[in-house]
Chain A
Amino acid sequence: MSNKEGKEKLNIRELIKAKGIPGAIKDLTLNSQVWRSFFRHGLEDTPKTRMQTVISNSFLHLHPAKVKRHAPLFKYTWCMGGITFFTFLLLTITCVFLMFYYHPNVRDAYWDMKGLEYHVPFGLLLRNLHRWGAHLMVITVWFHMFRVFMTGSYKPPREFNWGIGVVLLVFTLLLSFTGYLLPWDQLGFWAVTVGTNMARATPGLGHEGPFGEMLGMTAYNDIRFALLGGSMVGGNALLRAYIWHCVGLPLIVSAFLIVHFWRIRKDGGISGKL
């Protein structure tokens, strides 16, 4: 024990002599067990560390270590998938803060919106970011789909991932739609009333749809009732929209996103001329 300690001390003295105090500190830090447990590779710019940077980082290694030459080109992907993903992350973050101030009940919901505007520091900015971010996500997901179509990237072997994409598209719209009701103002209330009225007309499952009545559908047991938790848009509908919007749908979207990203890798990365 004492032998070893003595040796260490000697080394440090030598190190300081050789590299000066700052150099010695840097050297010791980079070689310490703590540092090495965080970062598994050096910092010099070599092909090896470039690849290690990607594959030893949980988040970066969503990417392959190398990509096709045209993959980072804006004119190929328009960056639209990535931007859609970023808006999703941004919405998730702003959502957490909005939830601190929002009560999903008929009495409070609307006044919480006013509260955000008048009482919460940067509350209105937070709400604006969430609202416009949601619009942006709908727009970018459409552009992404359009890009994927125009490059024919749905063709084999990416057929399945296109299908996953269509599911993501539908759920993106549903996320936006359920969020629309939450401010509980005239705009959201009537938009959701108009939207869910369509469900009444579902063939067989809605009480105003073809064959609905024949199959025993009424305003109190049809598919619209199940969506709204009532025969009209009220407190139950607000709570359901809230839970779908903040918990249910984001979980589903996250699951499909995992599959989407994984499949991009498994299908050979971004498509390109063979």
Chain B
Amino acid sequence: MPDKKETAQGRYRALAFVKGESLAKEKDSQVSEDELHTWPYLVRKEFLAVIIVMIILMIWSIALDAPLEEPSDPSLTPNPAKAPWYFLGLQEMLVYFDPWIAGVIFPSLIVMGLMVIPYVDINPKGNGYYTFKERKFAIVTFCFGFHVLWILLIIVGVFMRGPGWLWFWPWEEWDSHRIVAETNYDLTQFIGIDSKSLLGSIIGGGIVTIYFFLGMTVPYLLMKMRKSQMLEKLGTIRYSIVAFLFWSMLGLPIKMVLKLVLHLKYIWVTPWFNI
């Protein structure tokens, strides 16, 4: 900790030493109170962190060998064939969505969604310190996406998925002959309409459209009715982006529940793509 004597000795500007009185004179005492010398206070902690990380990695590397399986063989598909663990969340989504959504659209939305966060979160509070109270919506939404939809799905993908991408508890033995007879239905089949027909396709498309339409307009109107200041500051464009991303994200758990409970396969079937 720098003591008072140090601050009395004067403050130096960072780029060059200029003899004479400090330019930041009036703030001098306060600035020195709030600041620490990088050397040694920060540098020594970084050094310590490096040593600790190195020790951990060394122990890890001595205790556990990196995996190396049989030489690759294009004719011998392992069951299950798993992506690297950090992509297993996406692979897990394949259970609920077609590859173009799980493997392309969702990753793009995640990356774009992350990038727009600073531009749509206009709440000035909670900048530079930990707080939950002052930014509940932001934190709950982010943590739901990150911890539940990303991390939890990875855990499921790594530990719970066995042959045929079927669910096996970690203590269960993988039985590659297990077959789960399960018929899945498209949404319109529940009301007796062929999902591949034009009518089925229109109904399915309508439901997806209504989902986003209601999801985006209902909160808007509610906030408008309550004369929400938040909404006014957000503006329509920011609001729409948030609402679209929010309901796209919620689409995943909704589809998961529908699939697991109702054995729903597709909501919307078209000749080109299915959702």
CB-defined contacts of A131 to chain B, threshold 8 Å: 66
Contacting pair B118 A155 (CB below 8 A)? yes
Contacting pair B115 A163 (CB below 8 A)? yes
CB-defined contacts of A180 to chain B, threshold 8 Å: 84
CB-defined contacts of B130 to chain A, threshold 8 Å: 150-151
Contact A162-B118, Cβ < 8 Å, known A51-B14, A68-B35, A146-B146: yes
Contact with B along A230-274 (1 / 0, CB 8 A): 001110000000000000000000000000000000000001111
- In chain A, what residue has the closest Cβ to B134? A152
Give the interface segment out of B45-53, B218-226, B237-245: B45-53
Contact A177-B87, Cβ < 8 Å, known A152-B135, A170-B111, A194-B82: yes
Interface residue B119 (Cβ < 8 Å from any Cβ of A): yes
**Assembled-state Cα–Cα distance A234/B102 (Å):** 25
**Assembled-state Cα–Cα distance A117/B272 (Å):** 50
CB-defined contacts of B131 to chain A, threshold 8 Å: 152
**Number of cross-chain contacts by CB at 8 Å:** 241
Interface residue A120 (Cβ < 8 Å from any Cβ of B): no
> Shortest Cβ distance from B107 into chain A, in angstroms?
8
Identify which of B82, B111, B128 contacts A271 (C-beta below 8 A): B128
Contacting pair A74 B45 (CB below 8 A)? yes
CB-defined contacts of A68 to chain B, threshold 8 Å: 34-36
Interface residue A153 (Cβ < 8 Å from any Cβ of B): yes
Interface residue A48 (Cβ < 8 Å from any Cβ of B): yes
Chain A: interface residue total (CB-CB under 8 A): 93
**Assembled-state Cα–Cα distance A194/B87 (Å):** 10
Contact A198-B90, Cβ < 8 Å, known A110-B72, A209-B104: yes
**Assembled-state Cα–Cα distance A110/B86 (Å):** 23
Contacting pair A154 B118 (CB below 8 A)? yes
CB-defined contacts of A195 to chain B, threshold 8 Å: 83-84, 87
Interface residue B73 (Cβ < 8 Å from any Cβ of A): yes
Interface residue B192 (Cβ < 8 Å from any Cβ of A): no
Give the interface segment out of A3-11, A13-21, A31-39, A79-87: A79-87
Interface residue B42 (Cβ < 8 Å from any Cβ of A): yes
Contacting pair A185 B100 (CB below 8 A)? no
Contact A210-B273, Cβ < 8 Å, known A154-B118, A190-B77: yes
> Shortest Cβ distance from B22 into chain A, in angstroms?
12
Identify which of B37, B60, B83, B273 contacts A51 (C-beta below 8 A): B37
Secondary structure dominating the interface of A? helix
Contacting pair A55 B126 (CB below 8 A)? no
Contact with A along B67-94 (1 / 0, CB 8 A): 1111111101110011110110011000
**Assembled-state Cα–Cα distance A214/B49 (Å):** 55
Contact A82-B49, Cβ < 8 Å, known A60-B43, A153-B127, A166-B111: yes
Identify which of A149, A198, A274 contacts B99 (C-beta below 8 A): A198
Contacting pair B99 A201 (CB below 8 A)? yes
> Shortest Cβ distance from A65 into chain B, in angstroms?
5
Contact A186-B71, Cβ < 8 Å, known A69-B36, A132-B60: yes
Contacting pair B114 A201 (CB below 8 A)? no
**Residue ranges of B at the interface with A (Cβ–Cβ < 8 Å):** 2, 6, 9-10, 12, 14-15, 17, 33-43, 45-46, 49-50, 53-54, 57-58, 60-62, 64-74, 76-78, 81-84, 86-87, 90-91, 98-100, 102-105, 111, 114-115, 117-119, 121, 123-131, 135, 139, 142, 146, 272-273
Known: A162-B114, A187-B69. 6 other contacts (CB 8 A): A67-B41, A110-B72, A152-B131, A187-B68, A209-B100, A272-B129
Q: Can you pick out 9 interface pairs between chain A and chain B where the beta carbons lie within 8 Å of each other?
A: A47-B6, A65-B38, A132-B66, A149-B117, A152-B126, A191-B81, A194-B83, A201-B100, A274-B128
